[in-house]
Structure 1
Amino acid sequence: MVNSRVLVTRYGGTEVLQITEEPLRKTRGNEVRIKVECSGVALADLMRREGFYPGSPQPPFTPGYDAVGIIDDCGEDVMQYAIGDRVAVFFNGVGGYASFMYAQEDEVIPVPDSVEPANAVSILLNYVTAYQMLHRFAKVSKGDRVLIHGASGGVGTALLELGRLAQLQMYGTASANKHPIVVSYGATAIDYRREDFVEVLAHQAPDGMNAVFDPIGGKNWDRSMQTLHRSGTFIGYGYTSVFEEGSATDWSVRWRTLTEAKTTETGNPVHLYSVTALKQEKPEWFLEDVRHLFSLLEKGELRPLISHRIPFREVAVAHELLAGTQTAGKIVLVHP
């Protein structure tokens, strides 16, 4: 058997994505080998492919955060798992686009039997990010007003669904064609192309937002901060504006400056969230939150929005779809 992996051969567009094949090796020690069923696709994958993400690895590298699959080989010291077990694994943004992967026993998370693999893979990056921002950092309460930018995306729809469970008053920015999705979660949709969200919220929620979740960066961060309640919290968790303005250096400088300041100019709390950084700092939180979210998934309280299921070898199509404006929710690579 061989392992197929996606390689970013140089920084650039989808033409730099290539699939390479290599022989599989046996596991050893506490290792398990996982035959992947689904890999998640994220905007940060596109940023790393372009070389925009701060600290992007030098090509060639395999992108990807999250994967779910079946253990097909175990090292001699593995005690908790057996061949045939379905598990999830989360990487630091590199390694997920592969048909087989190796992980240490303590790096994998069991997936409940009743949970469909594409739904499970949606939990690892999107829902953990949304849950931790809402509950670990913003510490939202019933009735709180929140603004969600990119509300139709993978993390955006996770924020909407978890926000609905928390009984929040939600406002979400999205293009007009995606407003039905935003509204379906009980949120008020704002057309970011034709409306000024600062003005809309000044009229509809003059007391301001208890929390704002902004993955856009740049000038949007400054404008988002204008919508906060006097005690509201700003959470930045990305910098997608780098596709259109600025550079990875600008992103790093702004991120570092706000991290050190810890507040806006008006004194509101600021958190700059990175799921990978927090997982390294608080690994117990990651495991606890994944297990909690899997339990909600099992109970039918969460229904991740899967935009597209793309065959693994059509990874360039997945990237093109995510870079466009027609997708909503999570894009998943499906392995044969």
Structure 2
Amino acid sequence: MGTERRLLALLICLLLGGGLTGAVLGATRAAEAARPVEAAGTAHSGAAHSGTEHSGTAAADRPAPGDFVDIRDVPPGPADPPPGPGGSAGTVTVDCGRDEEGHYNEDNLVVSPGLRAGAHHTHAYVGNLSTDAMSTDDTLAAAATSCRGGDRSTYYWPVLRRPDRPAAHPREGAAGHGNAGAILPEAAVSVEFLGNPVSQVVAMPRFLRAMTGDPVAATAADDADVRARWGCSGTPDRSTTRYPRCPAGRRLTRTLVFPSCWNGLDTASFDHRSHLVFPGAGGICPQGTFAVPRLRISLAYDVPPGAPVSLDSFPEQRHSPKTDHAMFVNVMTDAAMAGVVSCLNSGRHC
């Protein structure tokens, strides 16, 4: 009997030990699997960013080969509808430079105000020179600007990198999370406000927040919020949601168009989209919204043929070109915005 009891006790210990080992291994694997998702949803300090920075030659730091396309293989797209008799055919161009000041950070005032490094990737800015996560309406209104004429609005987007070149400046390695390599400076930046093809526009309220594009498009259920438009200079009628391979002598381009139908009440919303939406077919704004000036930011880069490029992104988005996006805060004075509206509605080019 004593021998049987000892054997039974030994068997129970073995079973319990195996179960505990399995539980520990299972928990460890689950934690490892969840780690990339956690990285995208949790804010990290600057020290954490630099600690997780990857090598510029790592495969995870580069887009997939299928994310690239020869621009000559992209068919021409439909042209924008011409303004009708009741439309606003004007344009207003704001000269804000091309970030010669080197205004970069990992913040996102529109999406995550008050949260340092909340973007998990680096943004480039033109316009308001003070913009960061801690900016307020008052600090924005009092800051210096890169825009001629005094427009203190802030315009920003994720940087584009050369992952085959090492970072040479602290700002180039600050974001981490797989965003590595030398930042490509913009060769040209165009900030324009356009009208609406079927109606007059009304003024944007001061401190209106806006965003365009979907920074999580690579893992989203659909492409409903994708607004990425990549192309090459010389072929403005061809655009794609992939990185274009441009012929020698042509610049790689990004075009970021913002929603322009305002609900007439709010300068922001919980999802950063509900208060300002895109027009429907033909430029018609949804019921209950009003056409406001349509912001278009156009960026151009000098990229040698065949050179790799990589858009800063959340780690699980793998630098997908579909995730291109941009943000805007209107800090024009009421008088300046009234001038924009007048120019657009009268069909002038200002």
Task: Bin the TM-score by the shorter chain.
Answer: under 0.3
Q: Which has the higher helix share?
A: 1
Structure possessing the higher radius of gyration over alpha carbons: 2
Q: Which has the higher strand share?
A: 1
